[in-house]
Amino acid sequence: MKLQLDPAVETFFLLADADWGKRQKKRAIEQLDALGIDGAACYAAQFHLIERYFSAFAACMVKDAGSSYIADLSDQAALLFVSLLVSHPAWLRDFEALPEEEVINEVRSGISAIMGTGADFIAALETSGLSDRARWQLSVLWQQPKPRIALVIRAIAANIPAFNQARRKIEPEMASVLSQLGDQLRDDKLSPMVDQAVSLYPHARITPSLAAPLLVMAIGDTCVLGLLLNRVFTGRTDGLADIEAVRVSKALSDANRVAILHILKGNRLYGVELARKIGLTPATTSYHMNMLVSAGLVEVARQDARMFYRLSANGIERYRAWLETLLSRR
């Protein structure tokens, strides 16, 4: 399987952390620690390529208002932009010609999907628990998205040459990492955690990322997969990490998702069947199922070329064991 980086998505991630240094290193180590891995040791072993990549990019990047805007984005706003870049690659060529109403509709749909909310955006934002910066950025994007997206697109276009230069600097090592992941995907040798995430969209096209090395994000028929994620988790099949347990707890925080788990006890159902039983639209049901599958409580399987959902005995047992260990007085 031949994998290729997406220049626009990769340039966006490079601009978001162009000044890779102590702060980014600390954040990466904290992320790894939260995944139940020795963050400092893993960083020392795996992130030298990342540091060289960002350093090569920073040496020739074009700094402008757009690059500064990208660097200041909250995680939630950055997630929205990545989703738009993947879903609308043509925007990089003809964005200015798009009707503003079309852009507004796409952005509002994207924000609603990220927040899992409907039309009452303001009420949902006030109770979201997001940082002031994230709420402000999403609010501005909700109301007037086109100028900000144009700013980001211009910055990406100006810096794709810097991305190409950085890629050439690390080409041999990059090719090796891409080839290794391609072989693992082909031979079905992904680590359990990565395989679980990828199984959300079994027919999705894999878009690898080195600039976001620990990311896994499904967008429509595309799955953005960090190139170091499988390396980090290969061979690790022990108990639930704290960050995974938090994901499960969030999945259980919604009454509709709890109801879905009740429905799936002893059953395996297709998405349309679930939507009918729970009384939700297929799109809303799909959102809830993505949360439950990502948390490891539900798994996707195939029957007669159709995908159905069922409870994941392994995921449920791992969460039960984690709770028992956490709450044990011994």
Domains, the chain: 7-170 (no CATH), 242-327 (1.10.10.10)
More confident residue, 182 or 1: 182
Percentage of the residues of the chain whose pLDDT score is greater than 90: 36
If DSSP states are collapsed to H, E and C, what string results for 213-278? Answer: CCCEEEECCEEEEECCHHHHHCCCCCCCCHHHHHHHHHHCCCHHHHHHHHHHCCCCEEHHHHHHHH
Instruction: Count CB neighbours of 166 within 10 A.
Output: 27
Tell me how far CA of residue 228 lies from CA of 20, 46, 297, in angstroms: 17, 7, 25
Q: What integer pLDDT is reported at residue 8 of this predicted model?
A: 96
Q: Are 28 and 43 in contact (CB under 8 A)?
A: yes
pTM of the model: 0.74
Confidence grade of residue 51 (pLDDT, cut at 50, 70, 90): very high
- Specify the amino acid at residue 107: V
Most confident of 5-19, 20-34, 176-190: 5-19
Q: What integer pLDDT is reported at residue 237 of this predicted model?
A: 47
Q: Are 228 and 242 in contact (CB under 8 A)?
A: no
Confidence grade of residue 323 (pLDDT, cut at 50, 70, 90): confident
